[in-house]
Structure 1
Amino acid sequence: MAQLAYLHEGVEPVRTEGDAVFALTLSLFGEDQRRISHLAEDARAAGLAVGKPRPLESLLEGSGGVLGDVVVADCPQIDAGKLAALIRLDERVARAGARLIVATSADALDDVFGCLERSRPQILIGAQRAEGLVAMGAALAQLPGRRLREDDGEERMLLLRLTEQVVRIAEKLDRLAPGADGGALRAPDRPFRPAEEDREFLRRPRPPLPDPRLIKQIVRDRRLRSKYFAEELFADPAWDILLDLTMARAEHRRVSVSSLCIAAGVPPTTALRWVAQMVESGLLERMQDQEDKRRAFIALSDRSADAMARYFAEIKSSRASPI
């Protein structure tokens, strides 16, 4: 069975099978030459062998060619052909055990997200180079065969926050030295997933969810801080996401992923990274639209709804102020 290894520190990642050694490969799909060129350069800097870029629609023509270990699709705009191609790509990546990165725009996010149900992709908004590098590092760390220590939930959440810091630092460096090569920056070599905790619901009846008007007031109060302080000082996307989805559940409405990114109060790619980790950890659930299979929504899991209801009930009983 093929496994991944490193020949030595600083040398490109390789796949080994017996005595044979193979470089890990990257498949590129897209048509914007400038963006594709940057993605290819960054992939080579990460040690990947890059194949010839192909249009996304080529996936609909016969077999569409062999996929690499990592697949990157640049899809800033969406139409019927690209939607069909993304659905096909999602299925093929999932079957192959590859890792998928999709760069898109805020306008196309809901359609793109709805198409990608099986492959657990990383979705980038705006495709900033620093975020692409972080995504590439995460994809390499998640490939089958990598022997990574199973960190506990606290350590994984810390790694997720460190990833955000890597992106911020890289963006500042880009502004200070626009001509500098971003390829030297590398992401932490670990998957950014909070551990799933199997906790049974408490046997006593669950209290009702809080009044949505109370949550709206909490959100307004939290946003008010940015009037006087830098927004990054209080960034807490996980809690903002939980608050927004608690309010939506109490109001019996569905929440799109693009709406949730706005509620998170951080850049869209960062918000998507948090949503993905929270879905994987069981805090959130992806809900496919039964009337339109190309659409998907995000909701609290029953476990999270239980926890949020109990949190607000305890706050109310102790007469404390929610934060």
Structure 2
Amino acid sequence: MQADFSYEPVHDGAGCQMSVTVLADRDGVRDEMRCDAEAAGFRVLECCGFDEFASGASGALGDLVLVDCGEVDPACLALLSRLDMRCGKSGAQLVVSTTMEALDAVFGCFAMSGAQILVDPGRAERVIAIGRVLADVPNLRLRELAEEDRLMVLRLTEQVSKLAARLEGLSPGQGEGGGAFRLASPVQDWKASGDHYVMVDAADAPQLPRGDVIRKLIRARQLRARFFDAELFADPAWDILLDLAAARSERAQVCVTSLCIAAGVPATTALRWISQMVDSGLLMRIPDPADRRRAHIALTDGTTDLMARYFAAVEVGAMGELQAV
């Protein structure tokens, strides 16, 4: 079964057709990304490998920059950092595909551009990422999303991603030639309920339980997957908060790869949650002082206070136990 979905050229607010820069060393992946971007209505500005792009004149980037980076070396990381800076200043949208092995190094390169990072993606996931970019084009947005709907949209995007991957697996011809489909979702930053925290005297503020106590709760949550379908209990935001709370108690640093594993969902999905939680002020990026190209993730002070209050409310203290989390 094969389908060919074509769309009219996509234009910016000034009426100019939007352009795309495609960078990938793998010929097959580069051709796929170019095909899908053209099908979505973008004009291809440049399509080449990393070395060719790095050695050429530093011309204008497209409105969308699609990058596939499976293996990293110092020259590659330097190029990614330059792309992050250029896109952050110009407003170009970045979609970066990488592998789990290279994730920590690649993640640390992107702090300014708000890049979408996809981990070991299939073609369907790349198409969905292009759709998320199109959702930001002013003349394509149908309406602003209500504050209370943003979390629902993020969850819906996860379900659509899973469905797209299954459909792609059922349609061998889809990946060989034909266009792909476009699925767009609004990408406004989800905000946590409540704009500020209630501050009290430090002496009255509860403290986080010991790290081993929180780890015991995490293990209890993970045991459910032994008896039930793990997707019944998928709650990546909470699993991320628990893992970071344990790390905070242990005064340990958490890399993004470790946090993706702790989230219990595909790495690309976990990265979307991490990005949303950083944007909402629940989490923060901390540059690695030993290697500025890398970054760690941690709870903000306000989130740490809220987690401590939660544990106190369910009566989990330094030596406490919890019946259900």
8 Å contact from structure 2 (residues 243, 259) kept in 1: yes
TM-superposed CA distance for 1:218, in Å, is 1.3
Partner SS for 1:52: strand
Letter in 2 for 1:246: A
Q: Within the alignment, does 1:249 sit opposite 2:248 as a pair?
A: yes
What does residue 185 of structure 1 align with? 181
Q: 1:26 pairs with 20, 27, 47, which one?
A: 20
What does residue 3 of structure 2 align with? none
TM-superposed CA distance for 1:48, in Å, is 1.2
| Cα separation, partners in 2 of 1:79 and 1:317, compared to 1, 3 Å | closer
| Cα separation, partners in 2 of 1:106 and 1:246, compared to 1, 3 Å | same
What does residue 5 of structure 1 align with? none
Partner SS for 1:71: strand
What does residue 209 of structure 1 align with? 208
The TM-score, its normalising length taken from structure 1, stands at 0.89
| Cα separation, partners in 2 of 1:236 and 1:16, compared to 1, 3 Å | closer
1:42-99 CA-to-partner distances (Å, cap 9, x unmatched) read 2122211123312224454464221011101111000011011111111111111111
Name stretches of at least 5 consecutive residues in structure 1 with no aligned partner: 1-9
TM-superposed CA distance for 1:189, in Å, is 3.6
The number of residue pairs the alignment matches comes to 312
8 Å contact from structure 2 (residues 254, 298) kept in 1: yes
8 Å contact from structure 2 (residues 134, 184) kept in 1: no
Name stretches of at least 5 consecutive residues in structure 2 with no aligned partner: 1-6
The list of structure 1 runs, each at least 4 consecutive aligned residues, that deviate by more than 4 angstroms after superposition, is 143-150, 181-184, 317-320
Identity %: 44
| Distance (whole Å) between structure 1 residues aligned to residue 300 and residue 170 of structure 2 | 43
TM-superposed CA distance for 1:179, in Å, is 1.3
Comparing 206-215 with 46-55, greater Cα deviation is found at 46-55
What does residue 14 of structure 1 align with? 11
| Cα separation, partners in 2 of 1:62 and 1:33, compared to 1, 3 Å | closer
Q: 2:49 pairs with 52, 55, 65, which one?
A: 55
The TM-score, its normalising length taken from structure 2, stands at 0.89
Comparing 144-153 with 90-99, greater Cα deviation is found at 144-153
| Cα separation, partners in 2 of 1:50 and 1:203, compared to 1, 3 Å | same
| Distance (whole Å) between structure 2 residues aligned to residue 148 and residue 310 of structure 1 | 40
Q: Within the alignment, does 1:103 sit opposite 2:102 as a pair?
A: no
Partner SS for 1:22: coil
| Distance (whole Å) between structure 1 residues aligned to residue 272 and residue 147 of structure 2 | 16
What does residue 198 of structure 1 align with? 195
Q: Within the alignment, does 1:165 sit opposite 2:164 as a pair?
A: no
| Cα separation, partners in 2 of 1:146 and 1:45, compared to 1, 3 Å | closer
| Distance (whole Å) between structure 1 residues aligned to residue 239 and residue 95 of structure 2 | 25
8 Å contact from structure 1 (residues 212, 251) kept in 2: yes
Q: How does 1:148-159 map to 2 (within 5 A)?
A: 149-159=143-153
TM-superposed CA distance for 1:270, in Å, is 0.7
Partner SS for 2:112: coil
What does residue 271 of structure 2 align with? 272
| Distance (whole Å) between structure 2 residues aligned to residue 15 and residue 322 of structure 1 | 50
Partner SS for 2:215: helix
What does residue 309 of structure 1 align with? 308
